DNA sequence: CTAAAAAGCTGACAAATATCATATTTTAAA
DNA sequence: TTTAAAATATGATATTTGTCAGCTTTTTAG
């Protein structure tokens, strides 16, 4: 155990903020905290998760293996995110795999406690419902982009997204995320070589700077126009 | 008004089955029934839906316009489906457009009634939540397919899906759905010509029969293998 | 019923993307 | 530190997919 949920700021970002003080104390008492090193698996496809994870720090990738044997990343997670509610709600094994991209600190809240709160606290349930509705809307947008945009457009959009969401950590400091070229390819759904090639092209056109794994966007406007199809 | 919800079998297929008898009577009294002719718009992007639609009969396509001006179909709806909960839960205008593929009969339940039931009946809320979790899982699968499968594989998968889900109506009779070649292209995310070309190829290979709009799958096995990447 | 419009179809070609091969650089392990 | 393995990079080429053009068939409106 590491710290109390009542004092943890991370919960402010997710549905746990809808819990009452008493519920939060109960959660705090039954939760476990876990360190997941870069590259380690938080949970895998087909696993019974039996609870939800609340991300305290670090970055993770959530993916699903496709028939052709390539992992497709369907979500990225960072501090404040809650993951596992879906499998929990439907009482199913996980259909996704979560791997740490950077070292992560996560709290695990057992299923029973979450289900109890869902039953007893309508505010909590509505909050989970709202979050799921937002996720579903985002998923629809991703489907449209995957279906209709070129790889180049998707890469441009993804670079902007990563800059917005993962360039700084919870304290606003510059964060060194460890997304590999393969990760980026698996986000946009293309071959690793294609992703690398396009990154080189963007670099040549001075849209971005490449410093090892760190990608700095230097021409937001051009990337944005590209992503939206100019 | 056309019939009472209490006696409508369609509700058995969706979250409305979680309502109590009293709630159902209230719903029945405030709902309105609407006929939507083939090609007509049920609701459009940016519109305040202000309620949910329960589909009694017919088939509809749910799509989103992409930046490049092409509609991407993200969902197909038929009898028993409920649509509009997402925008309702998040109190947002619709991000999607729904158009009738065949003549439809739909019931509209006003927002206030649905919100009231969500607040008062935890079983209903949990049911909506479960359905949304299922939709989210499906959306993830679509993302993976869009990103990782070829157009040919996606067409094969879509033909099987349409055969399973839309070949027969609510009474088990053969249903003549009116999906155009363009609709099919907009489901799999490709150019209409490409979809047509591949359909011709599948016909030549005796995977399917083409009789006007009606597409009959005659070699499920081959299509399945193709879709899964043999 | 008939004309016009829309949908369906096919070919030719161009553009986008994947694959394979190989070299270079970076990272991790001994 | 040294060495092996992994990640990154780039070229050559094959495959897939999109676009444009023209034609035929089907549907719709008058």
Q: Using one digit for the tens of pLDDT, what is the confidence trace for A148-157?
A: 999 999 999 9
Q: Which nucleotides of C are covered by protein (CB under 7 A)?
A: 7-12, 16-21, 26-27
Mean pLDDT within A36-46: 95
Backbone torsions φ then ψ of B38, nearest 5 degrees: -40, 125
Taking CA–CA distances from A150, the nearest residue in chain B reads B68
* Cα atoms found within 13 Å of the Cα of residue B50, Cβ hemisphere only: 5
B171: DSSP letter: T
**Residue B168: per-residue pLDDT:** 81
**Residue A3: per-residue pLDDT:** 83
Residues of chain B with pLDDT under 50: none
Q: Do B64 and A228 touch (CB under 8 A)?
A: no
Taking an 8 Å Cβ-Cβ cutoff, which residues of chain A contact chain B?
64, 66-68, 70, 72, 74, 85-86, 89-90, 95-96, 118-119, 122, 125-126, 128-130, 132-137, 139-149, 188-189, 228-229
Q: How far is Cα B159 from Cα A184, in angstroms, rounded to an integer?
A: 31
Q: Which of B135, B141, B149 is the closest to A136 by Cβ?
A: B135
**Residue B164: per-residue pLDDT:** 94
Q: How far is Cα A62 from Cα B70, in angstroms, rounded to an integer?
A: 29
Q: Greater confidence, B173 or A70?
A: A70
Whether nucleic acid strand C comes within 7 Å of the CB of A200, the answer is no
Whether nucleic acid strand D comes within 7 Å of the CB of B37, the answer is no
pLDDT over 60 at A63, yes or no: yes
Taking CA–CA distances from B126, the nearest residue in chain A reads A125
**Residue A125: per-residue pLDDT:** 96
ipTM surpassing 0.85: yes
The pTM of this model reads 0.95
Q: Which of B66, B122, B144 is the closest to A64 by Cβ?
A: B144
**Residue B125: per-residue pLDDT:** 96
**Residue A212: per-residue pLDDT:** 84
Q: How confident is the model at residue A64 (pLDDT cuts 50, 70, 90)?
A: very high
CA distances from A206 to A1, A195, A200, A222, A224 (A): 47, 16, 10, 10, 14
**Residue A109: per-residue pLDDT:** 98
Q: How confident is the model at residue A2 (pLDDT cuts 50, 70, 90)?
A: low
Whether nucleic acid strand C comes within 7 Å of the CB of A194, the answer is yes
Q: Do B67 and A149 touch (CB under 8 A)?
A: yes
Number of neighbours of residue B51 by Cβ within 10 angstroms: 23
Residues of A in contact with B143 (CB under 8 A): 72, 74, 139, 142-143, 146
CA distances from A1 to A51, A103, A169, B121 (A): 16, 18, 23, 36
**Residue A27: per-residue pLDDT:** 96
Residues of A in contact with B189 (CB under 8 A): 146-148
Q: How confident is the model at residue A42 (pLDDT cuts 50, 70, 90)?
A: very high
Q: Which nucleotide is nearest to A199 (CA to C1')?
A: D9
Question: Which tens digits make up the pLDDT trace of A95-140?
Answer: 999 999 999 999 999 999 999 999 999 999 999 999 999 999 999 9
**Residue B2: per-residue pLDDT:** 64
**Residue A18: per-residue pLDDT:** 96
**Residue B217: per-residue pLDDT:** 96
pLDDT over 90 at A230, yes or no: no
Backbone torsions φ then ψ of A171, nearest 5 degrees: -95, 5
**Residue A16: per-residue pLDDT:** 96
Residues of A in contact with B229 (CB under 8 A): 67-68
- For all residues of chain A together, what is the average pLDDT? 94
């Amino acid at each position: 155990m590491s710290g109390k949920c009542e004092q943890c700021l991370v919960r402010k970002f997710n549905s746990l903020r809808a819990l009452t003080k008493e519920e939060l104390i109960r959660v705090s008492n039954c939760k476990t905290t876990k360190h997941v090193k870069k590259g380690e698996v938080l949970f895998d496809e087909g696993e019974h998760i039996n609870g939800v994870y609340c991300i305290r720090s670090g970055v993770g990738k959530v993916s699903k293996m496709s028939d052709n044997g390539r992992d497709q990343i369907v979500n990225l997670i960072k501090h404040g995110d809650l993951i596992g509610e879906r499998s929990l709600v439907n009482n199913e094994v996980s259909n996704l795999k979560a791997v740490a991209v950077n070292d992560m600190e996560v709290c695990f809240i057992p299923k029973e406690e979450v289900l109890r709160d869902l039953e007893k606290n309508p505010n909590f349930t509505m909050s989970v419902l709202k979050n799921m509705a937002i996720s579903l809307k985002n998923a629809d947008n991703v489907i449209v982009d995957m279906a209709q945009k070129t790889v180049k457009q998707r890469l441009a959009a993804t670079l902007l997204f990563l800059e917005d969401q993962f360039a700084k950590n919870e304290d606003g400091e510059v964060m060194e995320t460890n997304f590999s070229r393969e990760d980026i390819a698996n986000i946009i759904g293309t071959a690793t070589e294609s992703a690398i090639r396009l990154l080189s092209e963007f670099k040549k056109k001075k849209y971005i700077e490449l410093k090892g794994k760190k990608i700095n966007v230097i021409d937001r406007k051009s990337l944005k126009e590209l992503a939206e199809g100019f």
